[in-house]
Amino acid sequence: MEKIYIKEVNELQRAKQIAEKLDLYEHDLKEEYKRLLFNFEESIGQMRLITKVSDKIQKKLDKVNAALDQKNRELDAKNQELQQTIDELTQARAGRTATTIVLFLALLLFLVEEILVEPVIEANFGGNQWASIGTKLFIVLLLKPIESVLENIVFSYLHKRAKRQKEINQAHQISVSKKSEDE
């Protein structure tokens, strides 16, 4: 940037020297004044050119920044969609896991009912099938709330694990970035 103004600084120094001498003849004074005007006019032209170039560069930069802002907004929207999809997949995975656990629990409860509870029902109710059916119905009705609770627990666990993994990945990226900057 200083190279652009070398001529102007030199002319300023020259004008100061002339002002100190001031014992110049009128002809010399007119010549120096014309030269000063010419150089000043040329400097103004260069400044205008620099300003135009700067304005064009600024306009291009503004366009690039606007395009980057648009891309960032698009990326943010895609990230939100991706996060929603990840949440839905995590919810589905939690649901499948909870359903699997509930199926094993249902099998276990029906076995316990048949082996332990059924003999007690037969002894107390004298082989009444409605009591046995009521017990089994109670077990079946318990399964859905148990599944919902398990699904929430598994989802919470998976969500926390994913968040922890994301934090670990971010910390790793930061350490890799710092290492590459140090090199």
Cβ neighbour number for residue 134 with a 10 Å cutoff? 13
Strands (E), 40-178: none
Tell me the C-alpha to C-alpha distance, in Å, between residue 116 and each of 39, 119, 123. 110, 6, 12
Return d(Cα 48, Cα 43) in angstroms, integer: 9
Tell me the C-alpha to C-alpha distance, in Å, between residue 28 and each of 9, 18, 23, 34. 21, 10, 10, 10
Return d(Cα 92, Cα 165) in angstroms, integer: 19
Write out the chain's pLDDT in tens, 183 residues: 456 677 777 877 887 777 777 666 777 777 877 888 888 888 888 888 988 999 999 999 999 999 999 999 999 999 999 989 988 988 898 889 989 999 999 999 889 988 998 888 888 887 778 888 888 899 899 999 999 999 999 889 888 888 888 888 888 788 777 776 776
Place of tokens 């082989």: 127
- What is the model's pLDDT at position 24? 62
Contact partners, residue 117, CB within 8 Å, separation at least 6: 135
Return d(Cα 183, Cα 82) in angstroms, integer: 34
- What is the model's pLDDT at position 1? 47
Q: What does the domain layout of the chain look like in residue ranges?
A: 2-182
Which region, left, alpha or beta, applies to residue 25 given φ > 0 means left and ψ of -120 to 50 means alpha? beta
Count, residues in the chain: 183
What type of residue is 141? Answer: L
Place of tokens 């709330």: 145
Hey, what are 51's tokens?
A: 């300003």
